[in-house]
Amino acid sequence: MDDHTSANAPYTPNKFSYTELAFSLVAALALVGYGLHGFLNGQLVLPAPRGGFAVTGYLPTGLFLLGAACWAAGFLSVIVDHLDERNNEHAYTSFATWATRLGLAFLGAGILGAAVITRFA
């Protein structure tokens, strides 16, 4: 057994660089700000190389906001994990993974909802 995985080895909590912590905070704020802006205006523009895609309506933009909030929670868990010195990194890693997956699912549902609304409107 390696020294760092030994049961007798002292526990060392996760420590992230200030760059990674700053990125996580800025990304979380940007995601929630972008989603909230789109929801309050009822329209969200997703840039793309060939012109982009406009999402209109409060249901699709609400799903985008929910997805952005979930994804932001995953980013913020990095900061909380840095501050928390208990031996529970696996919980933060699992939370970040599932928050990101749920966020992407809501973002996908928002795109699908916008496509359906545009098609049948």
pLDDT in tens, 40-87: 988 888 777 887 777 788 888 889 899 999 999 999 998 998 888 888
pLDDT in tens, 86-108: 888 889 999 999 999 999 999 88
CA proximity to 114, closest of 62, 40, 72, 48: 62
Identity of the amino acid at 114: A
pLDDT in tens, 11-48: 776 788 889 989 999 999 999 999 899 889 888 887 77
CA proximity to 61, closest of 94, 38, 77, 84: 38
